[in-house]
Amino acid sequence: MNRYKSASYLHGREAVSVFSRLMLWAMFLLLSLPEVLGQERGVSSDQSVKASSEGMKRSEAAAEQKARFVPPFDFPITFSGNFGELRANHFHGGLDFKTQGVEGKPVRALADGYISRLAVTHGSGYVMDVTYANGYTTINRHLSAFIGEPARRIEELQYRQETWEVELKLKPGEYPVKAGEVIALSGNTGYSFGPHLHLDMIEDATGDYIDPLPFFASQVKDHTAPRAEAIMLIPRRGKGVVMGGTLCRQFPPRPKQTLTAWGWVGAAIKAHDYMDGVHNRYGVHTVELEVDGQPVFRSVVDRFAPEETRYINSWNLSGFMKSVIDPGCRLRMLHDLNGHRGWVHINEERPYLFIYRLTDALGNRSEVRFTVHGRRSAIPSSPYPLAKIQISPVLSSRLSAGEEFSSSVVSSLGEEHPLPDVNSSDGGSAPKAASSDAVGNPGSPVSANEAVWVKYHWRWNQLHVMQEPGLQLVVPRGMLYDDVTLRYAVRADSGDVAFTYQLHDEALPLHNSCELRIRLRHRPLSDSTKYYVASVHSKGHRSYVGGRYDKGEMVARIRQLGTYTVAIDTIPPVIAPINRNSWAHTGTITFSAKDSETGIRHYRGTIDGHFALFGKPSAIRPYITCRLDPSRIKRGQRHQLVFTVTDNCGNSTTYQGEFYW
Ligand SMILES: [Zn+2]
């Protein structure tokens, strides 16, 4: 797998299209090699033990070599982020070096090697890879600029390809570098919230992202151990209870109340690491749990392969690092030390002493001790009872009209389970007026008071197909981390283009993207490019997922189970010139460009009919800029400017105007 492309999604929403292409490939692999990826955890945990001891040997080897790298800056190094911090859908892949609050700090080569790639991306800004002779490659992200010949090469490529986003792979002989040589300028480009240098370090032999910190240990001031904020007890589904109940419970690190449990329970901890003299919080390198002196679980955040990073969704439970390993989780950082994937059996009425040991990358260590009292209590056979979900009044009225959908919805009414209602409040936007239609209609096969019984109980190690009226979702093996009972429901959508499908009542991450097809019920617009699959959030707010039209359906790839529908975007982006009167004086043209519905896919500008190099230096600010280049534009006259921005459904807005420069 191409490391660079895999890496790019670590930092950018804009890299989503690259990501989805990769995922298509990954899906192909998963579908064609189910016996490899669908293995039982028992097999894979042996492998992970093996991998970890190799990993340890490699880290030791790395430690021996640490003198080989000089720091990237000539001022004392401090960090705004460390390797392996828990982020949304990924581990933070590198070290974030602080740059004294400013951009433009000279970035130095860490050893002898060569510049192996240059790229400009919306997600990571200006990016430079350096491959070193000692077996490691670094990726420097969020740079403000390249310098010298590489800078000229990239600009030439941008003009040749007529796009700001470019990539240039380089050969060893092209731009060799020496340790300490200035290679670029630090910045704040891409998905960055302040000036810093993000430095990924990749071990060439394995392609793994590794923690660069040990290489700089002698320059780092850190005598501060990690600190716990909270602990959590997790009752195992159908096999354990915590405080007499089936819900996860969180407590302060030194709980005042008596903690009780019975049956199989797991633990989790929320903790951060700190360094001397700075206020930043970092991820914790090692978490170890023992119970009554017996090792139970260990996590060591020292390396991961790009395809492993999304397993973070299996480990991270609302900011807590779980000390139990999901059966479908193949993250090598997690180690089962008790043969039960970290689950602890509380089967005697006595105190059980839990001890967490937290260690940072430089060996600073802290401990959290708490006691869980075994207290015999009943364990419900399933802590997540099959839920009944109200069918929306609007849907009932549709069904009563005898549409093709009715038969399969009716057939989906399984045997009766007298269980409590689930409050399916999310995403519903059904107009109230429609309910009266439904209630009075004697022909309705499903009245508003009846319910659709949950019929989706998915095993983590199987392929699943959800087939519903107007909906199909294929979830191959390897996508789920654990078994799940879906709280499926369907509702009419106020836009009326398609039903709104609640695949599950909370966002459940899938390991890779899965194909979702939603049938259009009405086509108010003949232009099929204006439809898109939208994710529906708790307050009815919708966000763009993507998708293409195919024979009456929208086909999209989704990375989590949630609520989805089809929406229409015919609203073009809004663009506005910023400080027009100062363009001539600053030599920079700036527009603000926003698209509320589907987001900006493309922008392009010309000056006097020729391509002008507009770029989006920040992924978090709406500005698109063009630096005027006297070698390309004749100074001292009026110029014709045309600037067009296009959204993801092909709606565009064009600005045309004159300016003097
Ligand atoms: Zn970073």
pLDDT digits (tens, 9 = 90+) for 371-403: 999 999 999 876 444 444 444 433 433 333 323
Residue type, 557: R
Stretch among 38-47, 270-279, 475-484, 503-512 having the lowest mean pLDDT: 38-47
Distance 81 CA to ligand 1 centre (A): 6
C-alpha dihedral over 72, 76, 82, 83, to 10 degrees?
A: 40
Distance 49 CA to ligand 1 centre (A): 29
Distance 547 CA to ligand 1 centre (A): 30
Distance 192 CA to ligand 1 centre (A): 8
pLDDT recorded at residue 276: 93
Distance 94 CA to ligand 1 centre (A): 6
pLDDT recorded at residue 35: 29
Distance CA(480)–CA(501), nearest Å, equals 19
Distance 10 CA to ligand 1 centre (A): 9
Say which CATH architecture domain 388-568 belongs to.
Sandwich (2.60)
Distance 33 CA to ligand 1 centre (A): 34
Q: Which among 616, 526, 470, 463 has a CA at the least distance from the CA of 120?
A: 616
Distance CA(78)–CA(98), nearest Å, equals 6
Q: What Å distances lie between residue 579 and 561, 600, 625, 640, 642, CA to CA?
A: 44, 22, 12, 17, 17
Q: What are the backbone angles phi and psi of residue 153, rounded to the nearest 5°?
A: -60, -45
Q: Give the residue, 7 or 367, on which the prediction is more confident.
A: 367
Domain 388-568 and domain 574-660, same fold? Reply is: no
Distance 604 CA to ligand 1 centre (A): 29
Q: Give the residue, 61 or 588, on which the prediction is more confident.
A: 588
Stretch among 125-139, 218-232, 362-376, 419-433 having the lowest mean pLDDT: 419-433
pLDDT recorded at residue 539: 83
Residue 433 CB coordination number (10 Å):
9
Helix (H, G, I), strand (E, B) or coil at 315: helix
pLDDT recorded at residue 454: 58
Distance 597 CA to ligand 1 centre (A): 28
Q: Give the residue, 56 or 512, on which the prediction is more confident.
A: 512
Distance 555 CA to ligand 1 centre (A): 33
- When pLDDT is cut at 50, 70 and 90, the band that residue 68 belongs to is confident
Distance 191 CA to ligand 1 centre (A): 9
Distance CA(614)–CA(320), nearest Å, equals 42
Distance 195 CA to ligand 1 centre (A): 11
Distance 96 CA to ligand 1 centre (A): 5
Q: What digits encode the pLDDT tens for the residues 303-329?
A: 999 999 999 999 999 999 999 999 999
Distance CA(543)–CA(537), nearest Å, equals 8
**Domain definitions of the chain by residue range:** 3-38+69-219, 227-374, 388-568, 574-660
pLDDT exceeds 60 at position 207: yes
The answer to whether the pTM exceeds 0.85 is no
Say which CATH architecture domain 3-38+69-219 belongs to.
Distorted Sandwich (2.70)
pLDDT exceeds 80 at position 120: yes
Distance 388 CA to ligand 1 centre (A): 44
CATH class of 574-660: mainly beta
Distance 527 CA to ligand 1 centre (A): 41
Distance 106 CA to ligand 1 centre (A): 18
Strands 365-374, 259-272: pairing is parallel
